[in-house]
Amino acid sequence: MLLGAPGSVRIDSVNVTEPSPARLTPALDSLRGRPLVEDTVRNRMFHAVDEQVSKGFLAARATASLAVAADSATILDMEAGAGQRFSWGAVRDADSTRMDSRVLTRLSGLGHGEPADPARMDEAMRRILSTGYVDQDAPPRPLREPRSALVDMVVHLRDRPSSTIEAAGGWTEGSVSSGYVEMHLVDILGTARDLDFGISQGAAGLQAHAAWKEPWIGPLDLQARVSGDLSEDTLARILEGNLDLAWTSADGSTTILGGLTAAQRVERAPGDTVFGVEDDEWGTRAGLDWSSSPPPAWPISLLSISNLLEAVQVVSDTGNTERVRLQTIVQAFHPVGPFVLHLGANARGIWPLDASAGLSEAETPGGIRGWRGWPEGSPRTPSWAWATLEARLGSSRSGGVEAFFEPGVRALRRPDLSWVASPSWSAGGGAELIFPGWLVELAIAMRDDTPDWTQALLQVRAVNRF
């Protein structure tokens, strides 16, 4: 195409040859009166073709040639065609994962019959990979179903070892050992269903929990989550159940949930030898989780935020009370030279925090589930806040070593049953080793009231990924 100097020649008329219906003609005809500049013509053709491709006309095309009439009028001759319109059919893999086509299609968010826009494949892949169920071996590609106007998105995936069995134990000199076992089963039989359950046994008593995630409710892109928790020791017995509905964003990074919660709580008052009257609890709750990526075994660069708010009514023989609980967890991992800096925060609070907030409202934020310097059986508290400052040296392939300091504050009960803030801290170091399918962690820690290092808390944790 021989074009004049920029701005010196303008297009007098545009002659578009396109089979009926003329889908690209209106957009191409808008070149009339514009400067005869190659970039202008190309950009208009690309825009017109891309617009039709986004509507499912994958074979859309446009070409241009220049003609000069006897009266020196500049005529732009163009040939265009949208071709057949295609729609999305299904998402299927190359027989490399246990997930069947129906599950992949639901996870992708590509609706059957929607325009087959190739630009949506990247978004669909992000949704599939955000589940943590699979890894990607090659970019996706569109493939037409034989003798139809449907296009499938063909993916090349491999199952990720994302299910885990985890066991941990903690020991201090002269105290009873404690530990827990957790199992996290994900994508059961390729259905995108998850199951969690675990049990913890130690000086503090028994704790057990279970949770089930149903990925969809019929045609709705909503998850149903059912969970239950049991905690029992010499001070209190708590039985809780939750039913939540959750929605996950298109890129899989954000989850919003809302649901109902119910509980039975009973505790032994100071000086009593038997448990008191049970309290019944009913309420609602809402949560918001965000993560920059599915958490790996050894995070290098990761940011995650989790918030949970509960508003409940407690029914007891002494009357009804309302209570609000809020918990926030923030984790950040960032590489700094050869090190990985880990900053974290964990806070829980209830309102009102008064004498009516008994031990059944409180938890033990210690041991191998919380502050690493606080063994199981540490004093219960309804409210706390702590920070994690940690430096790691290693890699995501083999693990490494770390040193940490965790300052915090807890609410402790006075003799008059009121609560007072008490500063606390724990510190220590450890190592995490990564083997094929395994993560093994060893940590030693002490807290502000540990007499000496000989009575420090030793913790061992092993996670098998399969």
8 A C-beta contact, residue 353 and residue 179? no
Question: Where does the pLDDT of residue 415 fall: very low under 50, low under 70, confident under 90, or very high at 90 and above?
Answer: confident
Q: Which helix (H) or strand (E) holds 50?
A: helix 38-54
- Decide if pLDDT at 6 tops 60: no
Q: Is the pTM of this model over 0.85?
A: no
> For the chain, what is the mean pLDDT?
90
The Cα 429–Cα 449 span in angstroms is 18
35-62 pLDDT, tens digit each? 888 899 999 999 999 999 999 999 999 9
Percent of the chain with pLDDT over 70: 96
- Decide if pLDDT at 4 tops 70: no
The Cα 238–Cα 205 span in angstroms is 12
Q: Identify the architecture of domain 164-465 in CATH.
A: Beta Barrel (2.40)
In this prediction, residue 1 carries a pLDDT of 44
Q: Looking at 268-370, which runs of residues are DSSP E strands? A: 279-291, 302-316, 319-336, 339-351
Question: Where does the pLDDT of residue 202 fall: very low under 50, low under 70, confident under 90, or very high at 90 and above?
Answer: low
Non-local CB neighbours of 305 within 8 Å, separated by 6+ positions: 288, 289, 290, 291, 328, 329, 330
In this prediction, residue 347 carries a pLDDT of 96
8 A C-beta contact, residue 196 and residue 135? no
Q: Which 3 state secondary structure label does DSSP give 5?
A: coil
For 12, the token pair is: 């007098």
Same fold, 87-159 and 164-465: no
| Residue 422 C-beta-side C-alpha neighbours within 13 Å | 15
Q: Which long-range contacts (CB under 8 A, 24 or more apart) does 325-332 make?
A: 325/349, 325/350, 326/350, 329/304, 329/305, 330/304, 330/305, 330/306, 331/299, 331/302, 331/303, 331/304, 332/302, 332/303, 332/304
Question: Where does the pLDDT of residue 318 fall: very low under 50, low under 70, confident under 90, or very high at 90 and above?
Answer: confident
Q: Which residue has 């446009």 as its token pair?
A: 62
DSSP state at residue 188: G
Question: Where does the pLDDT of residue 5 fall: very low under 50, low under 70, confident under 90, or very high at 90 and above?
Answer: very low
In this prediction, residue 176 carries a pLDDT of 65
Over residues 13-38, the mean pLDDT reads: 92
Question: Comparing C-alpha atoms, which of 203, 201, 159 is closest to residue 182?
Answer: 201
Question: Comparing C-alpha atoms, which of 398, 461, 397, 450 is closest to residue 428?
Answer: 450
The Cα 67–Cα 210 span in angstroms is 75
In this prediction, residue 58 carries a pLDDT of 94
Q: Which residue has 């241009």 as its token pair?
A: 64
238-277 pLDDT, tens digit each? 999 999 999 988 778 899 999 999 999 998 876 777 888 8
Question: Where does the pLDDT of residue 195 fall: very low under 50, low under 70, confident under 90, or very high at 90 and above?
Answer: very high
57-82 pLDDT, tens digit each? 999 999 999 877 667 788 999 999 99
- Decide if pLDDT at 3 tops 80: no
- Decide if pLDDT at 297 tops 90: no
433-447 pLDDT, tens digit each? 999 899 999 999 999
For 44, the token pair is: 């208009």
| Residue 414 C-beta-side C-alpha neighbours within 13 Å | 8
Q: Identify the architecture of domain 87-159 in CATH.
A: Roll (3.10)
8 A C-beta contact, residue 255 and residue 237? no
Per-position DSSP letters for 417-458, written without gaps between them: S-EEEEEEEEEEEEEEEEETTEEEEEEEEEETT--SGGG-EE
Q: Classify domain 13-81 at the CATH class level.
A: alpha beta
The more confident residue out of 204 and 351 is 351
369, 371, 374, 379: CA torsion to nearest 10: -80
For 373, the token pair is: 């310097």
Least confidently predicted of 191-200, 316-325, 326-335, 368-377: 368-377
- Decide if pLDDT at 378 tops 60: yes
171-185 pLDDT, tens digit each? 887 666 788 899 999
Q: Which residue has 């395994």 as its token pair?
A: 438
For the beta carbon of residue 276, count every other beta carbon within 10 angstroms. 16
101-143 pLDDT, tens digit each? 999 999 998 988 999 999 999 989 988 998 889 999 999 999 9
Over residues 93-100, the mean pLDDT reads: 86
Non-local CB neighbours of 146 within 8 Å, separated by 6+ positions: none
Over residues 187-208, the mean pLDDT reads: 86
Q: Delimit the domains of the chain by residue range.
A: 13-81, 87-159, 164-465
In this prediction, residue 320 carries a pLDDT of 87
- Decide if pLDDT at 2 tops 50: no
- Decide if pLDDT at 89 tops 90: yes
446-461 pLDDT, tens digit each? 999 888 888 888 999 9
In this prediction, residue 7 carries a pLDDT of 53
